[in-house]
Structure formats: structure tokens, C-alpha cells
Amino acid sequence: MDDFVDIALTVNGKPYRGRCEPRKLLVDFLREDLGLAGTHAGCEHGICGACTILFNGQAARSCTTLAVQADGAELLTIEGLAGDGGLHPLQQAFHDHHALQCGFCTPGMLMTALDFLNTVEQPTEKQIREALSAVICRCTGYDNIVKAVAEVAKAKQG
Amino acid sequence: MKPPKFAYHAPAALEEAIQLLERYQGNARVLAGGQSLVPLLNFRLLAPEALVDLRKVPGLADIRVSQDRIHIGAMTRQRAAEVSPAVRQHLPIMKEALGWVGHLPTRTRGTIGGSIAHADPSAELPMVLLALDGEVFVRGPSGARTIAADDLFDSVFTTTLAPGEIIAEVRIPPMDAHAGFAVEEYARRKGDFAIVAIAAIVEGNAERCTRARLVAAGAGGRPVRLRACEEMLQQRGLDAQTVEAASRKAAESVTPTADPVASADFRRHLTGVLAKRALGRAIKLLEVPSHG
């Protein structure tokens, strides 16, 4: 029962190797084993969305994924969002629109919005609101988050 | 909120997975996408001796179209099915239902077979599998068999799969290209578990309904065919009064149980309201010559 598993995966373009119990959640593996604590563990049952990351390019909950399921996967976490040139446009828009207060949901909001904007071109406000309903924010009332995402969507259309 | 200890196996072949399940004699669980199983482990509502992860078994995530069936591999991610051209063309009601399954980030990992095997009575995929007369192709210790949706769902979170049996594929006949269809659902927040959901398929024209199929989720311990409602539509047609009366029949015919989320009366009421809404939209599609 105490068997450990070896995991090799790529996070934010960097290869990592780890060894953990099979019961270890991916969110805990990222935070505790890889020291990437930007991904937040909230509800730990897939409801609040704070732990959302990109798993092989698509948004996924890291609290309802076992670390061992990510063996061989390519992940993007909030630490990999900003490039060398400064904030990612979504991060900049969140900053400009005051789209965060306590900041706990923000990594999940950003990763969810990133996948959503990669998936849906020219989204309506209703679509943005529906996509963001995957992440619970208890501070902002969502309005400024919606505005930030809408601005980036508009800018992407050129 | 962390899973209890379990042994972990990721076999590279389905035969091996079946042997592992046999070896643990009902104390192992199959891990597909984990979107229902991992929360249950986190809550420690389940403490299986072992997990048998299907992620390394090849060929379980393909979607293919044969002469009379759409074959969807059990490990097909819900998100992949949602954007599949075959699903859009032949099973548009499944595509619509998938939009109601959790949120985009859960559909990335959640699988078609996993949701069906989990048999949550409020889940959309078991509901549409039944509405579409689908079946599951199952492999197990005593060989392979197919189980019709109606024979698969037993009660809350319970299927008729035998110990050691694994759903390998879901098989669904294509919808009539002219059928009208709709999924209606009520939940407190989009993406939450449905309190009640309805899948409706109608064929024929506004005057005569040659086939009606309505299934409710959240209105009983398993997806429920609303037969009294279907029969009335097939006998009397799809005019507004019949739809009204048939929707009342739908509400009268279900026997939901109360839980902290909703009373039995509320679930019964929703069954009628959502049946009427779903029929309204489905019938509108019938009036459009072609769609899809």
C-alpha cells in the first residue's frame, strides 16, 4: 500500500521528475513537491476552480486529478503565464480593470479565461459569464473580471 | 480533504485491467477521468483498496461511425465528444447535453464512459444514452456483452455491471436527421448538478408525431423514461394543448425523492415545466426543414 510512483512531466516548459504516493493530488504535487504554490487549493472537490491549470493545453482542475494521471503531461500553471516581456495580456487586463481583490481565485480565473479565449472566438458577454461560472469568486462580484476578459477577447480580434 | 491510501495500477491492456478488478474482488475502482471519483476519494466517501487507471489502455478514446451505430470509446473525454463532427452530425442531442455537463475544465478530463458507469441519477449523459436507445459494450471476466441503457441503470450510483466488468465503448444509433430535440435543465448555477433535466426527441410533423422520446434526470434513482407523456404525444400529436397535457402527465408519472437540494414536489413540478420547454424547442426544430 505504501508504493510510491515516479512521475515525469513538463511544467511551464521545464521538465520535472517527482516521486509521490499515488493518492497525491496534482494540486498538492505542484505546490508541495515542485514548489509552484501559485496554483491554489480551494474546495478540493472540483467546484470552486481556484486550482485550474492547463493540462495538455486545456483547462482542468488539479484538485480532481491525481498527480500520477499527469505523468507524461504538459502543464501550464500561473507561474508560466507571464512571459519575459512582462504580464500576459489577461493579467494586464485584470490589473487595469481591478478584477481581483483577495486574489485567491485569480490563478484559476486566469487559466480558465485563457483556455476559454483559445476555444471561443468573439465570445458574447453571456458566453464569458458562463465560462467564468466555472470559478467561484467571493470578492469582486465578477463584473470587473468579465470586463477584463471581454477586453482581451476584443483585442484578439484586432 | 485528501484521498485515503490505495494501491495504484495502470495496466496497458483491458484484459489486465479486468484481471486486476477480479483480483481485488470488488474492492478496486476503475479510474477513467476521475472527475466524480477523485472528489469522492477526497471526501473519503470511498476508500477502495486499489484504483485501476485506464489511461494506458490503447484504443479506448476513439469515435467511429459504423453502418448503424456511433461508437464512442469509453475513455473519450467529454470535451472531445462535444467538438466531434460525428457527434454533432449524428447525435446532436448529445452535443447539447454535453454543454450542461460540469464546466469546460471538468469536461477536459471527464469521460463519456466514466460518467455513464458512475450512474449519477442527475447526470446528463445517462439521460441521453437512454433517450437515444444507446447501449454499452462491456468486457469482463466471462467475456464481452452489450447492455441496453434501460437495462444498465439500476438505482442511485448503481449499474447492473458485474464485478470485474468494464465499459469499453458506448454504441448509439444515429438520430433521424429530421428529428427535433432539446435538453432543458434546472440547476442553481450552470454547471452544477442538475436538480432536474429533460431530454426530448420528437419525430414526425406538427400534426402527427410518429415517435416521441422523453427522459428525465433528477426525477428518480435513475434516468426515467416518461412513457405516459410519450404515448399521449404519439396518439394526439404535437399541438399546444397536447404538449400542455403531456407535460402534466410527465410530472404526474415521476416519483422523485426529497433531498436537501430539492423537495419531491419541486422535482415533480420541474419535470412538468422542463418537459414543456424541451418539447417547445424540439417541435420548433421539426418545423425547420433541415438542421444539424
Domain CATH number, residue B260: 3.30.390.50
- Paired strand residues for B202: B180, B212
Residues B20 and B10 sit within 8 Å (Cβ to Cβ): no
Q: Which residue of A has its CA nearest to B31?
A: A69
- Name the one residue in this structure whose C-alpha cell is 471519483: B37
Long-range contacts of the stretch B288-291 (C-beta < 8 A, 24+): B290/B177, B290/B178, B291/B92
Contacts of B41 in chain A (CB under 8 A): 23
Helices A143-156 and A89-96: crossing angle in degrees, nearest 10, is: 140
Query: B109 and B199 share a domain?
Result: no
Question: So what's the pLDDT on residue A157?
Answer: 83
Distance CA A19, CA A29 (A): 9
Query: B158 and B235 share a domain?
Result: no
Level-2 CATH architecture, domain A89-156: Orthogonal Bundle (1.10)
Question: So what's the pLDDT on residue B192?
Answer: 86
Query: B98 and B188 share a domain?
Result: no
Q: State the ipTM, two decimals.
A: 0.95
All three cell numbers of B144, joined, read 464481452
Query: B74 and B164 share a domain?
Result: yes
Question: So what's the pLDDT on residue B205?
Answer: 87
Mean pLDDT of B145-149: 98
Query: B80 and B132 share a domain?
Result: yes
- Residue with the larger pLDDT of the pair B291 and B161: B161
Query: B147 and B245 share a domain?
Result: no
Distance CA B18, CA B11 (A): 10
> Can you give the pLDDT of all 158 residues of chain A as single tens digits?
458 999 999 999 999 999 999 999 999 999 999 999 999 999 999 999 999 999 999 999 999 999 999 999 999 999 999 988 899 999 999 999 999 999 999 999 999 999 999 999 999 999 999 999 999 999 999 999 999 999 999 998 87
Question: So what's the pLDDT on residue A113?
Answer: 98
Question: So what's the pLDDT on residue B289?
Answer: 60
Contacts of B50 in chain A (CB under 8 A): none
Q: Does B8 contact chain A (CB < 8 Å)?
A: yes
- Paired strand residues for B53: B31
Question: So what's the pLDDT on residue A32?
Answer: 97
- Domain end call among B156, B172, B188: B172
User: What is the least distance, in Å, from the CA of A62 to any CA of chain B?
Assistant: 10
Query: B190 and B233 share a domain?
Result: yes
Nearest to B149 by CA among B215, B205, B193, B101: B215
Mean pLDDT of B31-56: 97
Split into its structural domains, chain B has a count of 3
Whats the size of chain B, residue-wise? 292
All three cell numbers of B194, joined, read 442538475
A6 class by beta-carbon count within 10 Å (0-12 exposed, 13-18 middle, 19+ buried): exposed
All three cell numbers of B278, joined, read 424541451
Query: B70 and B46 share a domain?
Result: no
CATH label of the domain that carries residue B37: 3.30.43.10
Q: From 3.30.300.30, 3.10.20.30, 3.30.450.20, 3.30.200.20, which CATH number describes the A5-80 domain?
A: 3.10.20.30
Work out the number of other CB atoms within 10 angstroms of the CB of residue B26. 12
Question: So what's the pLDDT on residue B202?
Answer: 98
Query: B231 and B207 share a domain?
Result: yes
All three cell numbers of B180, joined, read 427535433
Residues B77 and A69 sit within 8 Å (Cβ to Cβ): no
Q: What is the mean pLDDT of chain B?
A: 96
Q: Does B204 contact chain A (CB < 8 Å)?
A: no
Euclidean distance between the first and the last CA atom of chain A, given in angstroms as a whole number: 55
Query: B71 and B155 share a domain?
Result: yes
Query: B165 and B109 share a domain?
Result: yes
The Cβ-side half-sphere exposure at B55, using a 13 Å CA radius, reads 18
Question: So what's the pLDDT on residue B100?
Answer: 96
Question: So what's the pLDDT on residue B290?
Answer: 54
% residues pLDDT > 70 (chain B): 98
Q: Is residue B119 over pLDDT 50?
A: yes
Among A69, A119, A130, the residue to mutate for chain B (most B Cβ within 10 A):
A69
Instruction: Please judge whether A22 and B41 are an interchain contact, meaning their C-beta atoms are less than 8 angstroms apart.
Output: no
Q: Is residue B292 over pLDDT 50?
A: no
Q: Which domain holds residue B250?
A: 180-287
Query: B36 and B71 share a domain?
Result: no
Q: Does B189 contact chain A (CB < 8 Å)?
A: yes
- Domain end call among B145, B172, B199: B172
Distance CA A35, CA A37 (A): 6
Residues B177 and B241 sit within 8 Å (Cβ to Cβ): no
CATH label of the domain that carries residue B98: 3.30.465.10
Nearest beta carbon to residue B42 from set A2, A44, A59: A44
Taking every pair of Cα atoms in chain B, the longest distance, rounded to a whole number of angstroms, is 60
The Cβ-side half-sphere exposure at B93, using a 13 Å CA radius, reads 37
- Paired strand residues for B197: B185, B217
Nearest beta carbon to residue A134 from set B42, B79, B191: B191
